[in-house]
Structure 1
Amino acid sequence: MKALIYTLLAATLTAAALPPFQRPIMDKNLGPAIPLPNKSPTASKPADSDTIVLSDVLGRDREINIFAGFTRDFAPMSERFDDTSLNTTILAPINSAIMALPRKPWEDPEDYENLGTEAYEGDKGAERARQNLQRFVEAHVVPASPWKEGDKLNTLAGDEIWWETKDGVKMIQPGNIAVSSVASRVYNGEVWILKGVRNYK
């Protein structure tokens, strides 16, 4: 037991002594932490251990792990991706598209116009940011799968979208956002990887 404790202590001290360029790389700071909403009971049908659902595969592709992380901040979204009775198409923007945005996904220009630079300070600001981020995530979730070309459907945010093929590439409309690939097809839906971000103010 003592040997194990000494080994762990030595590993910790060694990591702390490393120069900054040799320490583990952390994700870039994307802004203020967003508080998690309270979970509410639902009548969902969680998957059994043999069924692969959206929540099992969404975070596996490193190219979309920022968006996948955002979805986990909202219990109703996670529950939907676990639910075998709700089919869903997730339109997941690639990390570089999110990082290239002029503002964070939870920032709204109207908030800054109305409230100034303190728009996201304090409890009210954190709640405002949480609602904006939820709207951003919901704008990338279509409550249907399979989703046929040309079918106009509403996202969970309430805006109408559809897709069409141009030169062999799926394009989300409106906005002409290219789908680079369908990352996963599972029991309750699909994950489509987008080259851009949709419905961003």
Structure 2
Amino acid sequence: MRLQLLAILSLPLLSLASQEKQIPMSIAIEDYSPQTHAKPSLADLLTIEPSASIFYSYARELELSANFVDTTSSYTIFVPTNKAVMSLARKPHQGPKPPVDEGIQISEEEFDNQSKKNVERWVSAHIVPKSPIRLDSEYPTLLEGKTISFRPISKNDGKGPEWSRVTLEDGVRIIGMKEGSNGVLFLIDGTVSEAV
């Protein structure tokens, strides 16, 4: 009796399955061609680098983050560690301190717009639209008028990778490097100043 009841209940399911259009497996496989690269993109590197999560979360708020996936251009990114960002007196969305606090009230929309502009300036100051670069030159960043330059470390013994023997402006050290399919990511122990 149970078998008959089970057979009766499953009949509608079988008829529904036969009515669905099915795509032959050979067609679906032939149309699919995955994109493969020998190296991960800058976006991939930023995603898996736990010490860069704050920088990447700021960058993802902007259209600039599309550059980290773009394989038609190469970029050099100087990525502050989470510790470096957390130690800032004013966070990137706050922007530089105004010369005089006039107590001016702004709307929430104006505040959001200003915060986004501040983040865009800050992130742009950390991106050089070229890769690879030499670490004995000066390069313009995506922030108009802002350049990044390098200085040799005074007690340089000539050992280790080139990036470990130089500092950025204000003595910011490069503490790591990763190569991606569309550029190079340098982890830094400070931040790049937005001052032009």
Same fold (TM over 0.5): yes
The structure showing larger relative contact order (alpha-carbon pairs under 8 Å, at least 6 residues apart) is: 2
Per the alignment, do residues 123 and 190 of structure 1 end up closer, same or farther by CA in structure 2, a change over 3 Å counting?
A: same
Deviation of 1:195 (Å): 0.4
Classify 1:151/1:71 alpha carbon distance in 2 versus 1 (closer, same or farther; 3 Å).
same
- Hey, what does 1:144 align to over in structure 2? 130
1:175 to 170, 173, 176: 170
Give structure 2 stretches of 5+ with no counterpart.
1-33, 159-163
- Contact preservation (8 Å) 2:135, 2:166: no
Equivalent residue number for residue 116 of structure 2: 130
Q: State which of 190, 194, 198 in structure 1 corresponds to 2:184.
A: 190
Q: Secondary structure of the equivalent of 2:170?
A: coil
2:85 corresponds to 1:98? yes
RMSD: 2.1
Output the CA distance in 2 between the equivalents of 1:118 and 1:147.
44
Shift of 1:115: 5.1
SS at match of 2:67: helix
- Paired residues in the alignment total 150
Partner of 1:63: 51
Alpha-carbon offset, residue 152 of structure 1: 1.3
Does structure 1 conserve the Cα–Cα contact (< 8 Å) formed by 2:47 and 2:53? yes
Q: How does 1:22-171 map to 2 (within 5 A)?
A: 49-51=35-37, 52-75=40-63, 77-107=64-94, 108-110=96-98, 113=100, 116=103, 118=105, 121-158=107-144, 159-166=146-153, 167=156, 169-171=164-166
1:106 is paired with a residue whose SS is helix
Change (3 A) 1:81 1:139: same
Structure number with greater Rg is 2
Matched residues, percent identical? Answer: 25
1-structure distance, mates of 2:91, 2:104: 14
Q: Equivalents in 2 of 1:118, 1:140: separation in Å? A: 31
| 8 Å CA contact retained: 1:140, 1:155 | yes
Asked if 2 retains the 8 angstrom alpha-carbon contact of 1:163 and 1:170, the reply is no
SS in 1 for 2:136: coil
Q: CA deviation at 1:196?
A: 0.5
Letter aligned with residue 130 of structure 2: A
| Conserved 8 A contact 1:88-1:142 | yes
Q: CA deviation at 1:49?
A: 2.2
